[in-house]
Amino acid sequence: MPRLLCVILALVCGLLAAPARSAPADAGEALALIASGRFPDIEKGVDLLARSGNTHAQAIIEALRDGRLAVAADRRVLIQQDGGRWSDAATGDALAEAPAAPKTVRINNRIRRAVEAALGALTLMAPDAEARRQAAEAVFRSRDAAALSALDEAIAREEVPYIKRLMGEARAAILLGDAGASDLQKLEAIDILAARADQDALALLRAATQGSPVVSAAAEAAVASVEQRLALLSMLQNVWYGLSLGSVLLLAAIGLAITFGVMGIINMAHGEMVMIGAYTTFVIQEFVRSHAPGLFDWTLPVAIPMAFLVAALVGAANERGIIRHLYGRPLETLLATWGVSLILQQAVRSIFGPTNREVGAPSYMAGSFDLGGLAITYGRLWIVLFSLAVFAALMVALKATSFGLRIRAVTQNRRMAASMGIRTPWVDTMAFALGSGIAGMAGVALSQIDNVSPNLGQSYIVDSFMVVVFGGVGNLWGTLVSALTLGIANKFLEPFAGAVLGKILLLVFLILFIQKRPRGLFALKGRAVEA
């Protein structure tokens, strides 16, 4: 039944709109009317001009509004350009010499309104699609009933479907607020706005619930459906934000999961590897800026392997120089690596200064697009994809290469692996370098969304530990699940509890969770009772 109603309404609407289309009039006739100097004629002329489709129409009307339109002694209409030069309104050609005693065309308030309506209609019918889109949205926001006739004509002419839809929505918004519109028109408007289903439409529909019984019932139903849709959208948006936060956590934690899993030690300097990766990006960008500004978009693809190398080297040096001597003493390792992290932080602070450093975003990281009502920024999208790619690459490296096989063997049973001839110290160094390198790559991604400062690593270290401990040691799938879960949980708690309280709740939850499952969500099964 409602569908039938819609069809009928659409037909009625089409019939109403059709006669509104008028034949293009000659610009000369309109100009003659304007040149007459009588207010009613000028108004008629403006209207004619707006409908004429003349290429100079907009320039002429704007000149009229600004008081730059004048009539020469030979009754030609002239436009005064910047710098006092004149041009012929009908042709747009510049005049060689200044005319004798041009008389400015004066206007009153009535004409001023006609001029505004005409300009709105002209942009609604502008040749540029983007201008038409903006005009349609402007009308939607202003809901100016005066624009209705121009809008009808623009809808009839419009050929781009989505702009036509926007104009229809603008028309619906005007009709819904118009006391003179019939209930039928209003019902049609409600359907259109319910299909738009965003906050603006919701506000308009809420306002419409005060109307006649039929209209208000329809408006209430529409409000309910729009609210439902908006709730769903905001949930999806939260999931997306959560995924994006989770992928950042994944990047920061996955390297930690390797070092913690393989060697059972806590690397407190892990966050500083992330920081080193971010500063590597900064250095590369500075170099490119000063030597080859045209290649700026290539800085990130270059920075990723470079950050991996730099962080991996620092990590390997850390392992060879310090951690190697502390095997079997995990708590001491924790302290020593904390010392390393302090030194690295201070070193970066001494070299680059304590303030935030600007890391620019390449063109493909900027901007956003709309996916069924979800606003998705390219930067976040790339980071999600990047972290999943890193995860996949790491998975392949661990499952399909002999190096990965050795790492897995040492993770599961160090002594047995050593007995089978695996050089465990070498595996340790390589695994540590790998974990640090991945942290470095995480730094490249973080440089795009966070402040690059010497404290960058510190802000992620507690979070990444939580991810690793929650997911379970020695299991990368656990890390993936735990990072995404924590990210999404964080974003869902935020609207209810606020960002800080949400984070506190999450930490408390994790502390309690560890009591229940001390080895994490996906613990390795084995006979090792205690390390």
Partner 1 sequence: MTRRPLILALLDGKGAVFLGVLAALAVLVPLSNLLLPEASPLHVPTYAVSLLGKYLSYALLALALDLVWGYCGILSLGHGAFFALGGYAMGMYLMRQIGPRGVYGHPVLPDFMVFLNWQELPWYWHGFDMFPFAALMVLAVPGLLAFVFGWFAFRSRVTGVYLSIITQAMTFALMLAFFRNDMGLGGNNGLTDFKDILGFPVQAQATRVALFVATVTALALGYLVARYMVTSTYGKVLVAIRDAESRARFLGYRVEHYKLVAFTVSAMMAGVAGALYVPQVGIINPSEFSPANSIEAVVWVAVGGRGTLVGAALGAVVVNTAKSWLTGALPELWLFALGALFIIVTLYLPKGIVGTLAEWRDKRRATISAKPAEVAAGAAE
Q: Which residues bind partner 1 (CB under 8 A)?
A: 264-266, 322, 325-326, 329-336, 338-343, 345-347, 349-350, 458, 462, 465-466, 469, 500-501, 503-504, 507-508, 510-512, 514-516, 518, 529-531
What is the DSSP code string of 228-244?
HHHHHHHHHHHHHHHHH
CB under 8 Å to 429, separation ≥6 — which residues?
316, 319, 320, 324
Structure tokens at 93: 């050609």
Question: How wide is the angle at C-alpha 468 spanned by C-alphas 345 and 309, nearest 5°?
Answer: 50
CB 12 within 8 A of CB 185: no
Residue number, 396 or 528, with CB nearest to partner 1: 528
Residue number, 47 or 428, with CB nearest to partner 1: 428
Structure tokens at 297: 């978009």
Judge residue 97's burial from the number of C-beta atoms within 10 Å of its C-beta, 0-12 exposed, 13-18 middle, 19 or more buried.
exposed
User: Smallest distance from the beta carbon of 276 to partner 1, in angstroms?
Assistant: 15
Structure tokens at 122: 């002209």
Residue number, 295 or 507, with CB nearest to partner 1: 507
Judge residue 325's burial from the number of C-beta atoms within 10 Å of its C-beta, 0-12 exposed, 13-18 middle, 19 or more buried.
exposed
Residue number, 111 or 249, with CB nearest to partner 1: 249
CB 440 within 8 A of CB 276: yes
Beta bridge partners of 69: 79
User: Smallest distance from the beta carbon of 500 to partner 1, in angstroms?
Assistant: 5
Residue number, 269 or 441, with CB nearest to partner 1: 269
User: Smallest distance from the beta carbon of 338 to partner 1, in angstroms?
Assistant: 5
Q: How far apart are the first and last CA of the chain?
A: 72
User: Smallest distance from the beta carbon of 311 to partner 1, in angstroms?
Assistant: 18
CB 240 within 8 A of CB 488: no
Structure tokens at 173: 């918004």
User: Smallest distance from the beta carbon of 411 to partner 1, in angstroms?
Assistant: 16
User: Smallest distance from the beta carbon of 256 to partner 1, in angstroms?
Assistant: 11
Residue number, 285 or 479, with CB nearest to partner 1: 479
Residue number, 210 or 515, with CB nearest to partner 1: 515
Residue number, 13 or 334, with CB nearest to partner 1: 334
Measured in degrees and rounded to the nearest 5, phi and psi for residue 112 equal -60, -40
Distance CA 137, CA 120 (A): 11
Judge residue 271's burial from the number of C-beta atoms within 10 Å of its C-beta, 0-12 exposed, 13-18 middle, 19 or more buried.
buried
Residue number, 139 or 467, with CB nearest to partner 1: 467
User: Smallest distance from the beta carbon of 343 to partner 1, in angstroms?
Assistant: 4
User: Smallest distance from the beta carbon of 5 to partner 1, in angstroms?
Assistant: 52
| 352: nearest Cα among 452, 437, 457, 461 | 452
Judge residue 353's burial from the number of C-beta atoms within 10 Å of its C-beta, 0-12 exposed, 13-18 middle, 19 or more buried.
exposed
User: Smallest distance from the beta carbon of 461 to partner 1, in angstroms?
Assistant: 8
